[in-house]
Structure 1
Amino acid sequence: MSSDTSTTSTPDAAAARTEGLAARVADLVVAHEPTARALRRDVHAHPELAHQEHRTTARIAELLADAGVAVRLLPGTGLIADIGPDGPRVGVRADIDALPVPEATGLPYASTAPGVAHACGHDVHTASVLGAGLVLADLARAGVLRHGVRLVFQPAEEVMPGGALGVIGAGVLDGVAAIYGLHCDPSLDAGTVGLKAGPITSASDHVTVRLRGTGGHTSRPHLAGDLVFALGQVVTQLPAVIARRVDPRAGVNLTWGAVHAGDVANAVPAEGYAAGTLRCMETEAWQHAGELVESVVADLVRPYSVRAEVSLVRGVPPVDNEVHSTAALDEAARALLGPDGVLPTRQSLGGEDFAWYLHHVPGAMVRLGTRTPGGTTYDLHRGDYAPDEAALAVGIGVLAVTAASERALPAGLQG
């Protein structure tokens, strides 16, 4: 197609080439979506937790090899695959691990692994990047892929501080000039995507506060050190104090997910703990929040004759979508879906280790609508999360058009 091979670099000409590319990709998506959907259902039925994704890795490698795409296995689990010419590459990333959540969808291809499910949509992410890879391989064989693309299938996104750090250390970004990804969004209808330049997710850390005392009889809490009461102060007061000690525009939020102390009604326990997640919408606040947590906990428990130990596992910074890369995604999505298919989105308090890639190269993440229009909004990390499979063709197409577009590369590397 002449629009794909022109060397004109004006904005209008580039947009016209993206339009032509989108039309070509749309036809290829129809051909490859069934393979991607079959992979999605297979992976969904056989979910694997972080760093255990051996079967998932093997299935992806098999499908890419069948399509003539060479793969390189990463240490442990995960893989990368290069498509197209040498030179600066565009990265396209998927996360392949599941969650320790029992599935409750009742789907014919529901999880066969007890207590494990793809409740965050990583099966959709994996299938979208696999499908985009098959489309891009066809474009490369046709001679219309003007730069190289690297598919990154990353393990262990669901554990802190995220598997991205390991694969970056293994060299997956060597030669990659920009990187793109997507994440399921159950608040958006299938057939649409959400975009935002700048921070789109939040920083996220795991916090555990463990209290220890002597224990004793509930009739004499003054002798035992009332550990349960002290733990109650930590649970209720720590989030409130932090909210007053940090600029509210930083969006700092501490929410507890587990609290435990004692097993009987008439004994003061000697040990108890609270565990939760600390989220920050700004990187600067995230960098200092841990020190504040330790200081406030020490002040809160001091009157109660108990000892406090704070464990903070640093997680991920915010995903900060680079402006040029976001514009590339926007142009590709509009060319494929039309202007009504691209919606503005807000920064969420969710964490995503895609953020680590953006500390090394520019890039952006798009939110993929997965709600059946007019249907139920199934939230992420719920056992009944059931994305509309119509979203899969959208994910494949948007990633493929973006990766193949000249705008996907930083401005200085565009042809």
Structure 2
Amino acid sequence: MENDLTILCTTAMGLESVATQELRQLGYTDMTTENGRIVLRGTATDVARLNLWMRTADRIKIVVGRFKAETFDELFEGTKALPWEAYLPFDAAFPVQGKSVRSVLTSVPDCQSIVKKAIVDRMSAKQIQFMSFDESGDTFPIEINVTKDWAEITLDTSGTGLHKRGYRLDQGEAPLKETLAAALVLLTNWKPHMPFIDPMCGSGTLAIEAAMIGLRLAPGFNRSFISERWPLIPTDVWEKAREEAEDLADYDTRLSIFASDIDHRMIETSQENALEAGLMSDIEFKQMQLADLTLPDENGVLVSNPPYGERMGDEKGTKAIAEQVGQLIQTRPDWSYYLITADKQFEKNAGQKATKKRKLFNGYLETQYYQFWASKHH
């Protein structure tokens, strides 16, 4: 069992390749990338490490089993055949969530209750003495996912989604999820020795995620995970994983990260969040407008999520931002510029053609990540 868990890293659509790259850097080689998910084999130690280290994944799940299920009988028997006693203690609380996609079994509530009943049946049969399932113990969130008549049952080891790093006390109107912000930074050519600027920083997420990447800080270091209380992943496994994270952190790297915003309240929010993340001395914050931005002299990277649409209140503002960015690109071609926006006219208004575009979802909003590479791209 120890060496044989099937682990699932779920991601937002469009971030699969970034997450796969992250896994490679963490030393994983054998994995399968599918839509919104990456599957790999591993141990309890890997579950702990991935929860602590994955910047762009939403959750880390364990696949308990996968089987064909076109009838409720098949779902019941397939679930009951799985070794639940290896995963759940007898007092486990195990809420079952579900979803069904293009399958004969369309009723999600029925799927959920059948899975629940099958687990109880299996556990009862495995018990030596009778115990009532009062579910008074720790929580093991279970999900039944039926896709094209294949049932997959997973255990969610993260609990709260991994984007909740624990530093964001407050946020602006249209915050970037921390996982997406980390992906935006990882998709650039930024290295910790280069200047990094976000001139429309909102609640500071991009700058904070960049600082965490630059200092090699595990994004999950300051939070807890639901599986920390599971017998399946012993306490010493978590302790070792946290020690490893502490050892790998590189607090001595000098970063040059600058974040500004037109709204002084957002700067206060950013500073509070940076303070909570322990990164106040690694990021310089300043209230200023984009038009007043001057870039320092060496090749750097500008990454931003400019306000647009309703948050902007008008199209004129959106257009002005694109024009100002266009001017920067023209006057300072030695810098690289990366902007995520739903503004379809961005390139036109900036008067610049992006080197590369990438479709990404910010929540449910479809956006483009425009990438303008430096003329001397390194």
Normalising to structure 2: TM-score of the pair?
Answer: 0.24
Name the structure with the higher helix share. 1
Normalising to structure 1: TM-score of the pair?
Answer: 0.23
Q: Bigger relative contact order, structure 1 or 2, given CA contacts below 8 A and separation 6+?
A: 1
